[in-house]
Amino acid sequence: MKVFREIGITALIAIAIFAALKFAAPNYRVQYSSMLPNIEENDLLVVDKVSYFFSDPQRGDVIILWPPAEVKEKNPFIKRVIGLPGDTVEIKDDKVFVDGIPLEEEYIKDPPRYTMPAKTIPEGEYFVLGDNRNNSNDSHYWGTVSRENIIGKALFIYWPPSRWRVVKHYSYPELTKADRAANLQSDGGATWTTIFLSYSK
């Protein structure tokens, strides 16, 4: 009896661990080709659902999301976060601009052959695009996605075995440099104003 009890306890622990892992890191089958050349249709991915409980999605993250109801799609989408709340996003001249700065996007299949007027992203909303810019049902069609509709962050492709790899999430140093330059200019202006006022007194 003791042996059966120990086996039962071990089985329950294993089931609990499996259930916890399925909740924290479920799998996702890619339905479309909107993330080419990096993620292909029918790739199986592991998704991190936990990280976004503690932090917000970042620009460059590849995420799994539910599209807005008006899209009338029963399957989740996979896209890359481009615009954060408060950003202004515009698409023109074969480039995506965030706050007037063109993004350097080495990961896309082709430059976007369409335009989109400047849009400011509302609070709690995110602007997402597919890496296959000219063949993606994304924010340039239907607008932003709400924070509540973001399921999780793509971690790695585990099937097929030949496709095994970590999903790459990108940062955008050009935006960081621009922010730093703007801050330096602002700080410099404040410093000279202070010196001038001090001298005038």
Which listed residue (2, 22, 33, 34) is catalytic? 34
Contact 146, 125 (CB under 8 A): yes
Which listed residue (33, 74, 79, 119) is catalytic? 79
Q: Is 79 a catalytic residue?
A: yes
Q: Is 92 a catalytic residue?
A: no
Catalytic residue positions, numbered? 34, 79
